Amino acid sequence: YDFINFNILITTAIVGMEFIIGILGNGLIALVNIIDWVKRSKISAVDQILTALAISRIIHLSSRHLSKLFSMVCPGLLWAEQILKMIHIIWMVTSHFSIWLATSLSIFYFLKIANFSNSIFHYLKWRVEKVISVTLLVSLVILFLNIAFLNTDTDVWVAGYKRNVTNSSSSKDSLNFSRHFLLHYMIFTIIPFTLSLTAFILLIFSLWRHLRKKQLNATAPRDARTKAHLQGLQAVVAFLLLYTFFFLSLLIQVLISDLQEKNVIISLCHVLAMAFPSGHSYILILRNKKLRQASLSMLWWLRCRFKDAES
């Protein structure tokens, strides 16, 4: 028990650090883009996506920790019908936009960087902003379907919960509901994951064709387009890697939902899940010149303030 408690303590501390890191990173992205928007009175399409993504992740991380705190303070009220629906809907909506806006960003990079002779691709490339708008509109339809299914599942579970008065039955039903919710959510996350994976594969294929063309023309393969391909691949690979960790954390929780007494594994799943909205923000900062310069300026300002405080 001491070993289990120690591991839970460590993973809880890691999740807390991920929460702080995520709030700071996403907060920086949102703040820099909003200030730039106010100064210039305009904002680019990619900055719009980044700002919306950062705000959705701040809300997602905050609601996730508030629900965790609420479950510790008032565990009994957590399973009340209206509260249960509210918590799951907030979690689902913020998580949905976090995933779909990141997916839209991958599609944006792909259409801007890749190069194919296909007429359909050129049509989409020159209308990239409309493609992103349509993608997000379609995602809203998926979100509404997801919420509808969630509300139906919650109503069925609450009805069954009220019929079962024994603690053992209630505990078993709550585990089954959690597993069903996670499995249901996993199915809906496969769609944006598949879109991001497709964009990644097509970007690799575009890079391969470009390098092959350069070699046939006996020119240096390391040109601006090659660099753009590689930078785009780095961003999409990092996103897919963190997305995979997030997806695996859901899968593990579904598979071991009947063994939730093993809190160490559940805690590790929370660490993996939190790495996605927290870690991805710093990858976006490193890739974006404006955000990178703003973060360096902020670090330099903090360093100067710290030195002044010491002296």
Q: What's residue 31's pLDDT?
A: 93
Q: What's residue 274's pLDDT?
A: 83
CB 148 within 8 A of CB 142: no
CA distances from 281 to 28, 117, 166, 197 (A): 9, 33, 45, 19
What's the number of CA atoms in the CB half-sphere (13 Å) around residue 115?
10
Q: Does domain 1-310 have CATH number 3.40.50.720?
A: no
DSSP per-residue string spanning 138-159: HHHHHHHHHHHHHHHHHHHHHH
Q: What's residue 168's pLDDT?
A: 47
Read off the amino acid at residue 298. M
Closest CA relative to residue 142, chosen from 181, 106, 189: 189
Closest CA relative to residue 151, chosen from 159, 139, 141, 163: 159
Q: Where are the domains of the chain?
A: 1-310
Residue 78, judged by CB atoms within 10 A of its CB (0-12, 13-18, 19+), counts as: middle
Would you tell me how many other CB atoms lie within 10 Å of the CB of residue 49? Answer: 21
Question: Look-up: residue for tokens 């997030």?
Answer: 246
Distance CA 55, CA 97 (A): 10
Distance CA 23, CA 171 (A): 34
pTM of the model: 0.83
CB 288 within 8 A of CB 49: no
pLDDT tens sequence across 140-171: 999 998 888 877 777 666 666 566 555 444 45
Distance CA 153, CA 168 (A): 20
Distance CA 186, CA 181 (A): 9
> Which residues does the chain have with pLDDT short of 50?
167-170, 221, 260
Q: What's residue 136's pLDDT?
A: 92
Give the DSSP letter of residue 54.
Answer: H
